[in-house]
Amino acid sequence: MENQSRLSEFLLHGFPDTEELRMVHIIVFFLIYLVALMENLIIITVIVYSHQLHSPMYFFLVNLSLQDLGSISVTVPKSLLNSLMSTETISYFGCFCQVSFLVYFMLSHFFLLGVMAYDRYVAICNPLHYETVLNKKACIQMATSAWMGGLFYSMLYVVLLLRLEFCSKIINQFFCEIPQLLKISCSESYLAVVWVLIFNSCLAFLYFALITFSYIQIFRAVFRIPSTQGKQKAFSTCLPHLIVICLFVVSGNFVYLRPTSSSPSTSDILISMFYCVVPPVMNPLIYSMRNKELKMAFWKLILNISSNTLHKFSQLCVL
């Protein structure tokens, strides 16, 4: 391949460029983005305006929704814009900004999932110390640490990637991601990125092992709860979080640790969607499906908004 280390842009060959498939891509991605936007904004609004939900678990859930909004906003709008304009280009610095923000939101998301596991561990295994251990200051510090951890690794990867030279500008994906950039690199510096990926994957495995150990302790405590109602309430708050963790970790590791194909592959696109596009849509559903407090707060907010709207409308009619 011709050495093109001084590239000004990349080409995103993620989707076939036929007119019919391009329209399907636009419609599907627009609907996915719209649903994710609405779901996460509703979660944030309900928690912020419902004083009964001002607890550590829901505080972390607001942060999770913000990260979901960030991760899907990094990839989908640019892909939609390219399809609408019938182009595949993304600028050199735009590509690295996309990688930087995606890594930032994804890793801060992963760190926050660990914090949320710790929250459930304290709530169920040490309920008497819950308010002391997870006070307002501690919650803010833990959430900030998750965001800062994502920022640190994001900067680390971008610094390493900026040292790479590229022999091609074709990326077989609908967004810029580290595995695809490594595949088109023609410099020895890419080995440093590979080793960092492997090292961080080992750390992620240890982190996931700690989360798993926490949930083993949680389920042991849950099974000791005498009342059936208590068990159901504990499972309703723990199982959704455990499902989100497993889906995120399995799909993310599969994308970053498996060899990338030499040509555009439907499986590559679907798996990448599974870890960066699907979670922002599914997470609000998973967390709210069995959460009675969140659903009650949502309908209470809707009723308040409706009553206020009707009251203002009646005043206007009188005037």
pLDDT above 90 (res 148): yes
CB-based burial label for 226 (10 Å; 0-12, 13-18, 19+):
exposed
The Cα 271–Cα 179 span in angstroms is: 13
Q: What does the domain layout of the chain look like in residue ranges?
A: 9-318
pLDDT band of 318, cuts 50, 70, 90? low
pLDDT band of 5, cuts 50, 70, 90? very low
For position 6, what pLDDT does the model report? 59
Residue-wise pLDDT tens digits, 45-90: 999 988 888 889 899 999 999 999 999 999 999 988 888 888 888 8
Single-letter residue type at 156: L
The residue that leads in pLDDT, 64 or 15, is 64
pLDDT band of 101, cuts 50, 70, 90? very high
pLDDT above 80 (res 183): yes
Mean pLDDT on 183-207: 76
For position 311, what pLDDT does the model report? 65
CATH superfamily, with its number, for domain 9-318: Rhodopsin 7-helix transmembrane proteins (1.20.1070.10)
The Cα 43–Cα 286 span in angstroms is: 12
pLDDT above 90 (res 40): yes
Look over the chain and give the mean of its residue pLDDT values, rounded to a whole number.
81
What values do phi and psi take at 234, rounded to 5?
-65, -45
Query: Could you tell me the pTM of the whole model?
Result: 0.85
Mean pLDDT on 242-267: 67
